[in-house]
Structure 1
Amino acid sequence: MEPWSEYSRFVIALFAILTPFAAIPIFLSLTEGRSEQERASTASSAVLTVAAVMLTSAFLGDLILKVLGTSLDSFRVGGGLVLLLISLSMLNAKVSPVQHTATEANEAEQKAAVGVVPLGIPLMAGPGSISAVIIQMQRGEGWEHAAMVVACILFVCMLLWISLRMAVPIGHRLGQTGLNIMNRLFGLLLAAVAVEIIATGLRALFPGWQT
C-alpha cells in the first residue's frame, strides 16, 4: 500500500483529468431544453459510464500491458505525455482533442444518450484518465492498494456527479470566465503530475541519467 499522499495526489489528478469544469458548458449545451429529470438522468449515465471505464481499466491494466508487450515505465512516459497534452489544453481553457473532437461534438447533437457518448466517453473517460488509473494501480500490490484505488475512483465519480447535477447553478454563478479560471488551475496541477509521471518513467528506462 502506497503512502496516503500518493492517493490524495491521485484523487486530485483524476479529478483534473476528468475536467468537470470543462464538461459543464458541454453538458449544458447537450441538455439544453431538457427537463431537470432528463438532465439528472444524463448526469447519472455519464458518471456511471466513467466509473465503469475507470474500474475496468484498473483491474485489466496489467493484462493490457502484457497484451501490448510494453513495460509499466514505457506506459508511464506515454501516459504522462497524454496527460501533459490535456493539461496544456486546459491551461488554454480548451477541451483537448485527445478527449473530444469537433466531429464527435457534431455527432453528439444527433444522439439521445449523450450521457454515455460523448460526455462519459471520450470527454471524461478518455485516454488520459485510463492511463492515470492503470499507472496508479500498477504502483502497488495487495488488496489494500487495490481497494484504495477503487475508493479514490468512486470518490472522484461522486464529485463528478455533484458537479454535473449542479451544472446550472455553477454555470450561472461562475460564468464562462470563472469556469475557464478553474479549468486553468486544474490544468496547472495536472501538468505538474504529468511531468513527474514522465520523469519517473524516464529514470527507470534510462538509469544512467541519474548519475
Structure 2
Amino acid sequence: MPEPAFLITVFVTLFVVIDPIGLAPLFLALTQGMDRAQRVAVGLRACVISVVLLMIFGLAGEAILGAIGITMPAFQIAGGILLFLIALDMVFERRSKRREGHATSEDDPSVFPLAMPLIAGPGAMAAMILLVGETDWQWTGVAAVHLAMVAVIALAFILFLLAIPLERALGKTGTMVITRLLGILLAALSVQFVLNGLRGAGLV
C-alpha cells in the first residue's frame, strides 16, 4: 500500500499541473451560448478523453521512452524542468494568457482545446510518467496514481458545472492569488523530481 505522503504528493502534483480551478473560467468562455445540457456533454466528453490520454501515458509512457533510448532518470530531470517552467508561467501569469490563446470558438471544443492541451497537456503527461515511475511499478502504487488522476479530472468536471457561480465567487483577483500559490508549490515539487532523477543517475 502506498505511503499517505506519496498519495498526497501525487494528488497535489496532478491538481496543480491540471489546475481545475484555472480551467473553469476557460470552460465557461469556450461554451458560451450553450445551454446546460450541451455544457455537461462537452465537459464530460473532454474529461473522458483526458482520462484515456493520461492513462496511456501513465501505463505506456516509460515503455515508449525505453524504445527510443531515454532512461527514467533523464526523463525525471527533463520532466522536473518542464514542470518548473509551468510553475514559472503560473506565478507570472503567462500560463493563463497562453491558455486563453487556445480558447478559440469551436463548434465542439471538447477534444481541442479542452481535452488537449488544456486538461491533458504536456505537463500532465510528463507528471503521469514521472509519478508512475516513482512507484517502482508496484500495482497498488500505479493504481493509486491513476485513481488520483481520475479524481482530479472528476473535480475539474464538477468545477466545469459550477463555473458560472465559481467565477462570481472567486473573481479575477481570487483566481490570480490561487494560481500563484499553486505555482509556487509546483516549483518546489518540480525541484524534487529533478533531485530524484539526479539521485537515480548516481549524480548525487
Q: What is the TM-score of this pair, normalised by structure 2?
A: 0.92
The residue that corresponds to 1:181 in the other structure is 177
Instruction: Answer yes or no: is 1:66 the counterpart of 2:66.
Output: yes
The residue that corresponds to 1:125 in the other structure is 120
Aligned 8 A contact 1:22 1:95 in 2: no
SS of the equivalent of 2:95 reads: coil
Q: What is the TM-score of this pair, normalised by structure 1?
A: 0.89
Moved runs in structure 1, 4+ residues, more than 4 A? Answer: none
Aligned 8 A contact 2:20 2:156 in 1: yes
Q: Which structure 1 segments of 5+ residues have no match?
A: none
The residue that corresponds to 1:155 in the other structure is 151
Counterpart CA distance in 2 for 1:8 and 1:154 is 14
CA RMSD after TM alignment: 1.8
Counterpart CA distance in 2 for 1:185 and 1:100 is 18
Q: Which structure 2 segments of 5+ residues have no match?
A: none
The residue that corresponds to 2:5 in the other structure is 5
The residue that corresponds to 1:38 in the other structure is 38
Question: Offset at 1:22?
Answer: 2.0
SS of the equivalent of 1:138 reads: helix
Aligned 8 A contact 2:20 2:152 in 1: no
What do the CA deviations read for 1:126-149 (whole angstroms, capped 9, x no partner)?
A: 111101111111122232222212
Residues 79-94 of structure 1 correspond to what in structure 2 (within 5 A)?
A: 79-94=79-94
Aligned 8 A contact 1:22 1:94 in 2: no
**Structure-2 change in CA distance of 1:169 and 1:96 (3 Å):** closer
Question: Offset at 1:117?
Answer: 0.7
